Structure 1
Amino acid sequence: MNETSDPTTLGEAFVSESRRQLAESVALIRHCLGQLDDDEVWRRPRDDMNSIANLLLHLAGNLRQRFQAVISGDPDDRNRFGEFTERSAIPKADLLGRFEDSAGKADAALAKLAPEQLVETRRYMLLAGSEEKSVLGIVIQALTHLNGHAQEILHLTRMQLGDRYAFRQPGGVPPEMRTNRG
């Protein structure tokens, strides 16, 4: 068996890449929030759409449920309905703190995963009932969900800021090659 087909090496590589993906989504969300004020994070494009604040509450709840409750076995205290109906104008710093706390605990749960645990299954509640899924599948779903909402937050931020939006630059790009696009 060569190194790339070793399940332990493959499992370790999956966990490492999952942690990198989690950090990248958190960094994108942090970048967007750094450009918005408290009122802007609560602004809704339309009444039937989510604010960035509600998305942060939702992501914090989702990460907490998937990584702490489902994967790590902690009690599930999620209030999904409340994530979307909250309107109390919680300050941006508090929202970001809640989100980053959940993301940090998700990263810690990933760091503790042994490769053989990725094929174990867990049962958890969804809107349509309960489901049993592998830990690997739960991680993939949670990170895909996070990245989708991170892109939504990016879009909402750009819609609000227009030309004032400051683009992120990839690491290592020389100053003379930096643009306001990318």
Structure 2
Amino acid sequence: MDIGQAYLAVALDNFRQIKRMGERVLAQLNDEEINVIPADESNSIAIIVKHLVGNMRSRWTDFLTTDGEKPTRNREAEFDGGYPTLAALKEEWQQGWQMVLDTVESLTPDDLLMTVTIRGQKHTVIQAIQRQVVHYSGHIGQMVYIGKWLKRDRWQSLSIPRGQSQAYLEEMLKRAEKETDPARPLGKLDTE
């Protein structure tokens, strides 16, 4: 695998991880909770998702050939309203993410140094991808924070729960040791 293929694999993995994190937040919420605005000048999770989907449609449609800020996009409208139901939100979420993943999967290493534009500014494909990784990560972080605030003591941790860091570290070290064990057959996956 060359460096370009490796980069595209990492970018795709990053997008999938970001998507999964958001889905783990959404799995804990109901129709009412997705539309709660926690403070003035803040956004609900529904508005954040609406903005993300609008961005995804604009950035990833005809990614290599047209400006990433499409004339049909109404960014300001993304910050009004929300979704009537969690199901409606999830449908749009899936459509937006499918566009991202399909586009990144279609790229080749030869595309990475091509120039694309976003709002008339030139970016290499690598820069444009990284811009979106950072943008989406930030908004998913907002969703996590709002989800924790909404659920309080009913929140199910998305990472290492408080007080369990040492146990988690020990488990990871055990796994790493098994993976480097010379007696372990290559290619065999642990099912424990």
Corresponding position: 1:101 with 2:95 = yes
Please tell me the residue identity of whatever aligns with 2:123: K
Separation in 1, partners of 2:77, 2:103: 25
- TM norm structure 1: 0.80
Q: Which moved more, 1:75-84 or 1:154-163?
A: 75-84
Aligned residues: 160
| Unmatched segments (≥5 aa) in structure 2 | 161-166, 169-192
Separation in 2, partners of 1:134, 1:22: 18
Q: CA RMSD in A?
A: 2.1
Structure 1 159/54 Cα, relative in aligned 2: closer, same or farther at 3 Å? same
- TM norm structure 2: 0.76
Corresponding position: 1:168 with 2:158 = yes
Please tell me the residue identity of whatever aligns with 2:126: L
Separation in 2, partners of 1:118, 1:101: 24
Corresponding position: 1:56 with 2:72 = no
How high is the sequence identity, in percent, across the aligned residues? 23
Please tell me the residue identity of whatever aligns with 1:139: I
Corresponding position: 1:148 with 2:133 = no
Displacement after TM superposition at 1:169 (Å): 5.5
Query: Whose helix fraction is larger, Structure 1's or Structure 2's?
Result: 1
Displacement after TM superposition at 1:74 (Å): 9.1
Displacement after TM superposition at 1:138 (Å): 0.4
**For each residue in 1:21-74, what CA deviation from the matched residue of structure 2 results, as whole angstroms up to 9, or x when unmatched?**
111111111111111111111101113111100000111111222222433649
Corresponding position: 1:134 with 2:124 = yes
| Contact persistence 2:67–2:117 (CA under 8 A) | no
| Contact persistence 1:72–1:109 (CA under 8 A) | no
Please tell me the residue identity of whatever aligns with 2:45: I
Name the SS of the counterpart of 2:118 in structure 1. Answer: strand
